[in-house]
Structure 1
Amino acid sequence: MNDPALWRPVAFQRRLLLVALVAAQTLAGLWLFAQSLPDQAGTWPSSAALAVFGVLFAWIGVGFWTAVFGFVVLRFGGDPWSLSEQHAARTTEAMDLAPTAVIMPIYHEPVQRTLAGLKAIFRDLEQTGRSKAVDFYVLSDSRDPEVWLEEQAACTRLREELGAHQRLFYRRRTINQNYKSGNIADFLRRWGRQYRYMVVLDADSLLSADCITRLIDLMESRPQAGIIQTTPRLGRAETRFARLQQFANRCYGRLYSAGLASIQLGEATYWGHNAIIRTEPFMRHCGLRKLRGPGLFRGPVLSHDFIEAALMGRAGYEVWLEPSISGSFEESPPTLEDDLVRDRRWCRGNLQHLWLLATLSRLRLAHRMALLTGILSYLASPLWLLFLGLSGYVALAGPESAPALPGVLANADTATDKGMLLVSITALLLFGPRLLALTDQTLAKRTGKFGGMPRLCASTLTETLAALALAPIRMFAHTLFVIRALFNLTVGWQGQNRTNNSSPATRLRQFGLPVLMASVTLGLIQWQIPVLTPWALPVTLPVLLAPVLTGWLNRQPAGQNWLLTPEDHQSPAVIDRARNTTGCDKPWQRLSWVEQIVLSPAYARTCGRDLRVATGRKQQTLQRLVEICALNGQSALNNREMSLICSHPAALEALHLRVWQTCASGPWQQALTRMVEGLETSTGQHLTSIPHYSEEVQWIDAAS
């Protein structure tokens, strides 16, 4: 295909077909809904219910028809207009890759697990013999010195273990502006011009060597491409909740990603990770300024990825989603609580896009629709609650002819034929993609990878029932998130939990307010409108049971055969590498990282990062902090103050000497005692007391 823009008329035709299908389905649904409304309902309640129903019916229709598009594309052997089909894999395995940076922004992540994944990627890429031009950067925004000191030490050891002294780098920002997008921008200002491309990872990302090399080769073959986004597969799930997410991703996600890619083509969206970016146009066109609107619409952009894709498209570059590129993996949050914590941040970020839609000019229509879709993914929850309330109000107007409404379990004796037909169509839109996915997996002869056809059907039924139970919980939670965002209540920025550490108290804090809302709602319905109680139970009962249900989902299943996926059938090499990689532990387990850095002469000499000599007021501040810490211990300083000392070699060395000089008493006495006990265990030698510093230096250096 000589003309790279030939895909545009094809994309226009496909989007026009999608709009026509969704519009026809929505108009038919509105007609059926209007016909099933009781005459006594009145004008404004009926009109409001119709309007909200139309938005929601179109919303679920978009998902259904996207899956249909994906099913058709996969049945015909793939999309001939996809980037992968237009540019076949090159046979230049021996050729060096273009200069590429693999960057991993992190913030208070589990250090050993995260770097084990990065090590697996490095090793996998190293085996290809094409990795010389690929550098790795760990970009930390961590503020707790216990975390970032471990990150720094682990990266140092990993660099030595891999022999990657000029290819693996660690940097920690001391000023955390603009969250993840600001971290990446800081990297680009410093090193971006050295690289033609950058591959962006999350802390839980795993990319195989074949995936990375394919992405780079596609970029080389397609100069018009600004971003190429892979479709990450979920892996390494351990809890029941994570395995539910992993099964849904692996069984149904194939249809959705293929359909989405076929509709978007070269105007796809960027998901913020597991993607490759052309650095020069990204630096020139995709900078994000702080919002200057009122309330919610002021400050840094939280959900930056969709906006960056839109800005890349506005600059004339293509953004592609390529589901056919395998070897891209990530992890699901292990618990529903962690999933909702992430959603709370995303909800605020997506709602900010309302301001950007109104203020950014010359965005392509496809990217505007993607931004609108992201907004509706959270506004849909309060709209569903509003629709259920209007449905109950309308049903009261004519109890003998109460409509069979989507989302409400209507009584067949009182439902009209048109209402029942509407319920059937709604069920098809909601559950049709699952049936299509089962059909696709069967026709593709992939059922064996899910444990066989009977087990695949059982797993699908289990996941569907769980999704039905979790949907009301998400609806109440997302509604609260939208309210918090609209009232501009602060959303904390915290690291993503990667392992299950949920407790009953955590669940109670997370779901206390939704449980209270559901209890009040059910109580009022039973008191005022008892005839609607059976309709309200399917919505409110899962929310009332949320702490118990999530407690069960947060635990690991008895065996790994629960909800089997292809990765359980045959684990990819990069996942095996990450699973089998042992992290680098502290030399002395009995000490915290701060204690180890301060007490160890070897670390005190090497761990300071800021080579500038502090002068003036900063020097006075450091001297004061060193004195406070030496006399009163680490707990006397906050994270920022302790990080300031640990970042300056002179201050760290001064604290190191002061602590050893006052080792006979004070809060550091216990740490020194634990250090000596650990050294005695590791060396087999026995000390009757803590020796003088000059004698201890040589002994500790030898032991370390």
Structure 2
Amino acid sequence: MALSLDTLGPDSNVASLQRPDSAMPPESRLEMPTQSLRRWSSSQERKPTVQHPRLRTSLARLFVFGGGLLLTAYGTYEMYQVVSVSRTTILQWVLVALFTVNFSWIAVAFTSALLGFFVLLHQPESRSGAPSSLSQRTAIVMPVYNEQTSRTFAALEAIYESIEATGLGAHFDYFILSDTTQPDAWVAEERAFLALKARLGSNARFYYRHRAKNYHRKAGNIADFVTRWGGHYEHMLVLDADSLMTGECITRLAAAMEADPDAGIIQSLPLIINRNTLFARVQQFAARVTGPVIATGLAVWMGRDGNYWGHNAIIRTKAFAAHGGLPDLKGKPPLGGHILSHDFVEAAFLRRAGWSVYMLPDLGGSYEESPPSLIDLSARDRRWCQGNLQHSRVIGAKGLKLPTRQHFATGIMSYLASPFWLFQLIVGIALVLQTTYIRPEYFARDFRLYPIWPRFDPERALALFALTMGILLAPKIFGLILMLLRGKDRRASGGGIRLIVSSLIEIVLSALLAPILMLIQSGSVFQILLGRDTGWQPQRRDDGSIPLNDIIRRHRSHTVLGVLAGLSAFMIATSLFLWMSPTILGLLLAIPLSWLSGQLGAGLALKKLGLLMTPEEHEPPSIATRANELQVRNTAFGFDDADSLRALFEDGALRERHVDMLPLEAPRKRGAIETERALAEAKLTDAETIEDAIAWLHPKERMVVLHDRALLDRLMHLKRTPPAGIQAAE
């Protein structure tokens, strides 16, 4: 008989638990061939089962890209008029070119958001509930990588309970797919899994698998599941470690997939919740206000040529197996090797093969979390930057749909925009410097009768600046208007006045952080182009602040640059200083802004005042409340704080289950000496007590021991450390 949810406490021994039948179900393999970037024939594309109307999508694309093109043409013309008061110099032409690139980027974002605003303005809120029945099976998979089990297992258990409440739980199985490389985190996962199985019983169909080597990281983790167990399931729903989805949302996604035989991937729109630091609350508020506008615009013009964000989406398993196998890019990282931002590429290959990929932005009940500080965001952003720049090697792949290439171009440009902006600032400074200090050339070699002296039209420049700022801020204004018009959302966000004040706070903080992010992203681009590879560090998901020394170290160069830019601009021209003042101020305040943004107290103070509030904070989703309750309970078990070797040494049943879950060992090649294994074996030979082993074995050596049945057996034959009194007597 399964134990109740709260029976298992932190002092419970695994020996008392119901022994699970198996950590994983029997394998049902699917072939997952590696896709080619160079070879593709239209004959390989499947024909749609149902003819889907495309007129609405075509008109939406005409509006977004046609409108963006017209706006860009107008902006470029105005910029040319600004610099062509006199004969235009080379630097001025460079400025016009950089402006055109940057302006085109924000112009398309504006028209897409405008489309989303119009649609949401006339679209009634979705009120449909969970489906009454399903006919196919879905695997809910959560890849984890050195995460806190108290958080991830609480989320998965809350999702399970929510799905069970719909009455459709029999159609779903749950998989924790571990790529964890830290020994304590690995054993904590196993203990949390065994405890979960003991509480819920085998009928809950939870499974756990740990990979010995995290080959190809998350993409490889999912591919390993698909090729070995994917044959059991028509669909898989992919989560992140910080994902939460209600049972209604998941069952509606499954029903949508069943109803659409041409769907390969259906993406939901995750809202950010559970955030309390100032930086994270700003992100949470901005995503709640502006996110639906942007996502709806994207969904309308993308149509069935959509994209995949890597989580909170349902996927047709056999289609993914047939067309989602990623190739390695030629050359070494950072631009070669395995593809980091795999989700865009997987969607591209499925779309190439004739499967539809689209988003349901109005589907509620999909949630995620965000990095707690600017530094945490920049660490994640560095990996995303490398992954998106790798797409420059994929964008020309044969057979890709034109919208797919546009998705890749958008992702690449989202990072190249920062160095383009930086170059535009540098060229602008150089032009003002040239105008102020360099004497005009009155007698040029081509015998012109007037000097070459760059001049500007200040009135047009001011009007163009106002237009640019308006286009940048428009999506935020659109989202604010919609929130103000919707009484329920307005009241849940603190009322109209607080909502407007919150938007102003978000705009000001975003404007101050923008130049810092510009330099961070520009640095990432330059590092990647110079051949520096990024790692794959686990994301920090707590609300803890970063030590001030680390903040100073990360931002001191930004502050110095702000001082130099401010002094130089002021010495060149007062007008230049005023023009650059937002950028200068953001850089000068980089250290205090970064420190303040990561502070829990600052975020909670605004929350107490009712500022930066979202409807999900005013009335938390029941699944989020339940997940938080389960996390508190899981934390009390102490699995995340325990030493892995000690836990296995002291609990024979846990050790037995750990060994049962290990994959079969590949025979060691004769004469091949593995350094970590040799060191681990030597240290265990010298050790007399478990305390010796704990003190001497380094993390990599511990991982070897945890994977090796023979070394584990040697570990178990060590003595316990005698009590202090006995040691003293001896």
User: Which category describes the TM-score, using the shorter chain as reference length?
Assistant: 0.7 to 0.9
Q: 1:109 to 1:172 in 2, by over 3 A?
A: same
Partner of residue 610 from structure 1, selected from 647, 662, 680? 662
Partner of residue 92 from structure 2, selected from 46, 51, 61? 46
SS in 1 for 2:141: strand
2:634 aligns with 583
Q: 1:92 to 1:489 in 2, by over 3 A?
A: closer
Q: What CA distance in whole angstroms lies between the structure 2 residues aligned with 1:211 and 1:295?
A: 38
Partner of residue 593 from structure 1, selected from 640, 644, 664? 644
Aligned 8 A contact 1:38 1:397 in 2: no
Q: What CA distance in whole angstroms lies between the structure 2 residues aligned with 1:569 and 1:89?
A: 23
1:133-174: CA deviations, max 9, x gaps? 211111111111011111111111112112246611111111
Partner of residue 374 from structure 2, selected from 336, 340, 353? 336
Determine whether 1:312 maps to 2:350: yes
Q: 1:448 to 1:510 in 2, by over 3 A?
A: same
Determine whether 1:102 maps to 2:140: yes
Aligned 8 A contact 1:142 1:172 in 2: yes
Return the offset for 1:444: 2.8
1:321 aligns with 359
1:427 aligns with 469
Determine whether 1:493 maps to 2:512: no
Query: Could you tell me which amino acid in structure 2 is paired with residue 417 of structure 1?
Result: E
CA RMSD of aligned residues (A): 2.7
Return the offset for 1:443: 2.6
1:324-375: CA deviations, max 9, x gaps? 11000000111111111110000000000001113x1110011100110000
2:523 aligns with 480
Return the offset for 1:179: 1.2
| Identity across matched positions, percent | 33
Aligned 8 A contact 1:195 1:279 in 2: yes
Report matched runs for 1:21-32 at 5 Å: 21-32=67-78
Return the offset for 1:65: 1.0
Q: 1:18 to 1:611 in 2, by over 3 A?
A: closer
Query: Could you tell me which amino acid in structure 1 is paired with residue 421 of structure 2?
Result: W
Return the offset for 1:613: 6.8
Return the offset for 1:647: 2.9
Q: 1:148 to 1:371 in 2, by over 3 A?
A: same
Aligned 8 A contact 2:267 2:308 in 1: yes
Q: 1:634 to 1:458 in 2, by over 3 A?
A: same
Return the offset for 1:13: 2.4
SS in 1 for 2:398: coil
Q: How many residues align?
A: 645
Partner of residue 486 from structure 2, selected from 444, 462, 468? 444
Partner of residue 611 from structure 2, selected from 558, 562, 572? 562
Q: 1:3 to 1:99 in 2, by over 3 A?
A: closer
Query: Could you tell me which amino acid in structure 2 is paired with residue 307 of structure 1?
Result: V
SS in 1 for 2:370: coil
Q: What CA distance in whole angstroms lies between the structure 1 residues aligned with 2:263 and 2:152?
A: 30
Determine whether 1:8 maps to 2:68: no
1:540 aligns with 584
Partner of residue 109 from structure 2, selected from 50, 54, 63? 63
Taking structure 2 as the reference length, the TM-score comes to 0.83
Q: What CA distance in whole angstroms lies between the structure 2 residues aligned with 1:644 and 1:425?
A: 61
SS in 1 for 2:315: strand
Report matched runs for 1:167-246 at 5 Å: 167-246=205-284
SS in 2 for 1:259: helix
Higher relative contact order (CA 8 A, sep 6+): 2
Q: What CA distance in whole angstroms lies between the structure 2 residues aligned with 1:634 and 1:191?
A: 36
Which has the larger displacement, 591-600 or 625-634? 625-634
Q: 1:587 to 1:52 in 2, by over 3 A?
A: closer
Report matched runs for 1:403-414 at 5 Å: none
2:505 aligns with 462
Q: What CA distance in whole angstroms lies between the structure 1 residues aligned with 2:435 and 2:561?
A: 27
SS in 2 for 1:227: strand
Q: 1:472 to 1:41 in 2, by over 3 A?
A: farther
Q: What CA distance in whole angstroms lies between the structure 2 residues aligned with 1:380 and 1:416?
A: 25
Return the offset for 1:8: 2.5
Return the offset for 1:398: 4.5
Query: Could you tell me which amino acid in structure 2 is paired with residue 510 of structure 1?
Result: R
Report matched runs for 1:276-425 at 5 Å: 276-293=314-331, 296-358=334-396, 360-398=397-435, 416-425=458-467
1:214-242: CA deviations, max 9, x gaps? 00000000010000000000100111111
Q: 1:659 to 1:538 in 2, by over 3 A?
A: same
Partner of residue 503 from structure 1, selected from 537, 540, 547? 547
SS in 2 for 1:135: strand
Return the offset for 1:377: 0.5
Q: 1:496 to 1:41 in 2, by over 3 A?
A: farther
Q: What CA distance in whole angstroms lies between the structure 2 residues aligned with 1:420 and 1:4?
A: 52
1:46-88: CA deviations, max 9, x gaps? 2111111111111111111111101111122169xxxx9xxx9
Q: What CA distance in whole angstroms lies between the structure 2 residues aligned with 1:256 and 1:629?
A: 60
1:627 aligns with 685
Q: What CA distance in whole angstroms lies between the structure 2 residues aligned with 1:126 and 1:99?
A: 14
SS in 2 for 1:604: helix
Which has the larger displacement, 378-387 or 432-441? 432-441
1:701 aligns with none
Which has the larger displacement, 147-156 or 211-220? 147-156
1:475-494: CA deviations, max 9, x gaps? 01100010111112121211
Q: What CA distance in whole angstroms lies between the structure 2 residues aligned with 1:606 and 1:177?
A: 24
Return the offset for 1:588: 8.9
Aligned 8 A contact 1:239 1:554 in 2: yes
Return the offset for 1:553: 1.6
1:659 aligns with 719
SS in 2 for 1:291: coil
Query: Could you tell me which amino acid in structure 1 is paired with residue 198 of structure 2?
Result: E
Q: 1:658 to 1:245 in 2, by over 3 A?
A: same
Q: Which runs of 5+ in 1 are unaligned?
A: 401-413, 665-671, 674-687, 691-704
Q: What CA distance in whole angstroms lies between the structure 2 residues aligned with 1:588 and 1:357?
A: 44
SS in 2 for 1:181: helix
Determine whether 1:642 maps to 2:702: yes
Report matched runs for 1:107-118 at 5 Å: 107-118=145-156
Aligned 8 A contact 1:7 1:266 in 2: no
Aligned 8 A contact 1:103 1:137 in 2: yes
Return the offset for 1:89: 6.1
2:23 aligns with none
Return the offset for 1:297: 2.4
Q: What CA distance in whole angstroms lies between the structure 2 residues aligned with 1:512 and 1:630?
A: 49
Aligned 8 A contact 1:41 1:398 in 2: no
1:548-585: CA deviations, max 9, x gaps? 11211211222453311101221111111111112154
2:623 aligns with 574
Q: What CA distance in whole angstroms lies between the structure 1 residues aligned with 2:573 and 2:121?
A: 50
Q: What CA distance in whole angstroms lies between the structure 1 residues aligned with 2:547 and 2:139?
A: 39
Q: 1:201 to 1:614 in 2, by over 3 A?
A: closer
2:450 aligns with none
Aligned 8 A contact 1:626 1:645 in 2: no
Aligned 8 A contact 1:97 1:130 in 2: no
2:45 aligns with none
Q: Which runs of 5+ in 2 are unaligned?
A: 1-47, 438-455
